[in-house]
Amino acid sequence: MTERKDHIDLLGGGLLIGFSVVLGLNQALVKIVNDGFAPVFQSGLRSACAFPLVLAFAVVMRRRLSVTDGTLGLGLLNGLLFSGEFCLLFLALDYTTVARVSLFFYVMPVWVAIGAHFLLPGEPLDRNKVIGLSLAVLGVAVALAGDLGSAAEDAWVGDLLALAGGMFWAAIALLTRTTKLSECSAEMNLLYQLAVSAVLLTLIAPLFGPLIREVTPTIVAVFAAQVVFVVAIGFLIWFWILSIYPVSNMASFGLLSPVFGVFFGWVMFDDPLTTTFLAAVAMAFSGVVLVNKPRQASKPSQT
């Protein structure tokens, strides 16, 4: 087993920033694929398609896969949390704007940091983390503030759904680190979640309207890219990082995802890119750096 680290190093930071970029791009990809597949059905289908890819990779790389090692119940619970996260996230978009959903969903690191403070002895909330998380959340709020006034009267419903979705995501991270799931491979953990979400989300998808809209070759290609690069590769990397680095520190990088989402909205959909956005990026990055600043060891007292 790879030795765990007490702070985010250059490799971990680079991978987490890359994963944040992927998540930000994924928001734009989901918007494109929604024209062909209903959102909840798209999530279930994506999990179903990614499952054999992750399984094949795990077999070829000889990763440890077992449902008799005491993790089956916990793995199924993680799968339910994974399903709930995406179901709540997509339902939230029916009530409120993408900006508001992103803002409330991506405060997830706050819940992780608070949970880690109580559940993980080595990850207390110190001054750097509190200030850094506050600064990063403020940066995200500034980046998205321009769209906050355009929501419908019942936008608060979507806000609560998105907030709950972020809590489900945080619960996945904490459950993985504080239980026997921390001893299973990243591939096995992801397979649990893909299997449960593929079945559950596909079954409940008809409750939210027609499953198929207008499918084109472009939509199929974009969907395939999601399956391979976002779910199969991206989440595998995230769970590997989760097994090595402090959970509260790495979760703070999730606050960069909506900022990258705004960027890709500008690139792909010609959304405006202003100086306010650039200032928000600087604030979010500063917050992440502060959260991940290693704590200085206390100096021994002089006698």
d(CA 133, CA 255): 9
pLDDT of 12 reads 78
**Domain count across the chain:** 1
Q: Is residue 296 in a domain?
A: no
d(CA 35, CA 41): 12
Kindly indicate the confidence band of residue 206, based on its pLDDT and cuts at 50, 70 and 90: very high
pLDDT tens per residue, range 3-29:
667 677 788 788 888 888 887 787 778
Decide: 104 and 164 in contact? Cβ < 8 Å: no
DSSP state of 184: S
For the chain, the straight-line distance linking the first and the last C-alpha, in angstroms and rounded, comes to: 41
pLDDT of 14 reads 83
pLDDT of 149 reads 52
Q: Is residue 248 in a domain?
A: yes
**Residue 36 belongs to what domain range?**
11-291
Torsions phi, psi of 301, nearest 5? -70, 140
pLDDT tens per residue, range 226-235:
898 888 888 7
Q: Is residue 3 in a domain?
A: no
DSSP state of 230: I
Instruction: Note the residue count of the chain.
Output: 303
Cα-based distances in Å from 259 to 164, 189, 234, 264, 290: 20, 28, 18, 9, 18
pLDDT of 150 reads 52
Kindly indicate the confidence band of residue 212, based on its pLDDT and cuts at 50, 70 and 90: very high
Taking phi over 0 as left and psi of -120 to 50 as alpha, with beta for the rest, 63 belongs to: beta
Q: pTM, whole model, 2 decimals?
A: 0.78
More confident residue, 210 or 99: 210
Decide: 54 and 238 in contact? Cβ < 8 Å: no
Q: Is 212 helix (H, G, I), strand (E, B) or coil?
A: strand
Q: Is residue 1 in a domain?
A: no
Kindly indicate the confidence band of residue 59, based on its pLDDT and cuts at 50, 70 and 90: very high
DSSP H stretches of helix in the chain: 10-33, 39-60, 72-92, 98-105, 108-119, 127-144, 155-178, 186-204, 217-225, 235-242, 247-251, 257-269, 275-291
The pair of three-digit structure tokens given for residue 150, joined into one six-digit string: 């355009």
Task: Name the CA dihedral angle for 271, 32, 159, 142, rounded to a multiple of 10 degrees.
Answer: -20
Q: Is residue 159 in a domain?
A: yes
Instruction: State the chain's mean pLDDT as an integer.
Output: 81
More confident residue, 158 or 215: 215
Torsions phi, psi of 217, nearest 5? -55, -35
Decide: 208 and 40 in contact? Cβ < 8 Å: yes
| Burial class of residue 229 (count of CB atoms within 10 Å of its CB; 0-12, 13-18, 19+) | middle
Q: Is residue 303 in a domain?
A: no
pLDDT of residue 71 exceeding 80, the answer is yes
d(CA 197, CA 24): 21
Q: Is residue 193 in a domain?
A: yes
More confident residue, 152 or 194: 194
For the segment 241-253, the average pLDDT, to the nearest whole number, is 69
Q: Is residue 297 in a domain?
A: no
Kindly indicate the confidence band of residue 192, based on its pLDDT and cuts at 50, 70 and 90: very high
d(CA 256, CA 116): 20
Amino acid in the structure at residue 78? N
